[in-house]
Amino acid sequence: MPKTRKILEEMGENFRLARLRRKLSLEQVAERANISRPTLTKIEKGAPTVNMGSYLLVLQVLGLEKDFLLLAKDDELGRKLQDARISTSERAPKRNRK
């Protein structure tokens, strides 16, 4: 999805800029995060195939691991739904297989 791709690319750029501000090479960050250099390159390009754990490892190397806790922290829509007492749909009952 284009919107998702754009978000990942922007996030990857933020990772790259944080690394460069700290004057760390790709090799240094990858080694400290215990990931491969190609994986770090994918993170910085915003590849959707990289697992979330790798992102957290890189954030830890950069000293930004607390940023991870900010994800979905301000759930404005969820709070509005909760306040309005709108319940989510229940799952349909299981069918009997005969």
Which pLDDT tens digits describe the chain residue by residue (98 residues)? 899 999 999 999 999 999 999 999 999 999 999 999 999 999 999 999 999 999 999 999 999 999 888 887 888 888 888 888 765 666 767 787 76
CB atoms within 10 A of CB 50: 20
How far apart are the C-alpha atoms of 13 and 45, rounded to whole Å? 7
CB 71 within 8 A of CB 55: no
pLDDT number for residue 3: 94
The pLDDT value recorded for residue 89 is 66
Instruction: Please state whether the predicted TM-score (pTM) of the whole model is above 0.85.
Output: no
Cβ contact 27:19 at 8 Å? no
Domains of the chain as residue ranges with CATH: 2-83 (1.10.260.40)
